[in-house]
């Protein structure tokens, strides 16, 4: 099992460009796994971890309801936002500058073949990262993601998750509100949940967070949880 991970920081990148890159890496791993199974060739599959931010964009998962987007095409343009229907699970969400987006393209055969456990590990990565900023992130029974004060009238979501997997290879992943402009969430029913608020690290602690710092912390927490053996930085 190859527990090495290739990490790339894509900076601010168009959503479709990042999606195409994910699809390319995902297909390379899946195709190699099929070749290994069919021919018996001995070769390690790779694991990739992409960090980025996106210009304002709304994305709708396969099981989502398009009516949860509250803007028509003209209003989207007015707000400088785009919209995509995509191939992950979950409903609608928002990405934009100040939100840390993390895309693990992992072959889970290198770690563990359990999607439920994988999702919980992603959540735990965020929960542990939030502790560095004095924030108590928690899980909310029946709802994916990371929340503050769940099961109270003040419940608010700080991180959304949505993934796709095939042959134990993953793509899509984490939308973590760090310095996000939360006003953009007013134009959707986030994740199809219409009675819960959203928040960000900046809103909770009262100042803007250094993105390089929080990426470093998150990567270290994920490295420990998943037991990465090596972290290699790609261009």
**Residues designated as active site:** 191
Concatenated DSSP letters for the chain? ---EEEEEEEEE--HHHHHHHHHHHHHHHHHHHHHHHHH----PPP-EEEEEE-SSEEEE-TT--GGGB---HHHHHHTT-EEEE-SSSSSEEEE-TTEEEEEEE-BGGGT-S-HHHHHHHHHHHHHHHHHTTT---EEETTEEEEEESTTSTT-EEEEEEEEEEETTEEEEEEEEESS--GGGGGGB-GGG-SS-EE--HHHHHSSPPPHHHHHHHHHHHHHHHHT-SEEEE--
Is there a contact between 186 and 81 (Cβ–Cβ < 8 Å)? Answer: no
């Amino acid at each position: 099992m190859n527990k090495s991970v290739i990490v790339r920081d894509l900076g601010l990148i168009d959503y479709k460009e990042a999606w195409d890159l994910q699809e390319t890496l995902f297909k390379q791993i899946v195709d190699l796994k099929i070749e290994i199974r069919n021919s018996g060739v001995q070769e390690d599959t790779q694991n990739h971890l992409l960090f980025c931010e996106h210009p304002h964009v709304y994305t709708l998962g396969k099981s989502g309801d398009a009516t949860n987007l509250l803007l028509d095409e003209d209003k989207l343009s007015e707000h400088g936002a785009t919209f995509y229907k995509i191939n992950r699970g979950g409903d609608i969400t928002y990405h934009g500058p100040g939100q840390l987006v993390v895309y693990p393209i992992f072959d889970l055969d290198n770690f563990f073949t359990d999607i439920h456990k994988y999702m919980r590990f992603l959540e735990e990565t965020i929960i542990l990262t939030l502790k560095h900023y004095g924030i108590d992130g928690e899980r909310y029974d029946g709802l994916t993601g990371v929340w503050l004060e769940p099961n109270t009238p003040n419940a608010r979501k700080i991180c959304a998750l949505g993934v796709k997997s095939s042959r134990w290879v993953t793509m899509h992943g984490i939308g973590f509100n760090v310095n996000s402009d939360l006003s953009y969430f007013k134009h959707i029913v986030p994740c199809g949940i219409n009675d819960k608020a959203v928040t960000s690290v900046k809103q909770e602690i009262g100042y803007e967070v250094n993105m390089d710092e929080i990426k470093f912390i998150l990567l270290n927490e994920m490295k420990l949880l998943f037991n990465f053996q090596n972290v290699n930085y790609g261009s």
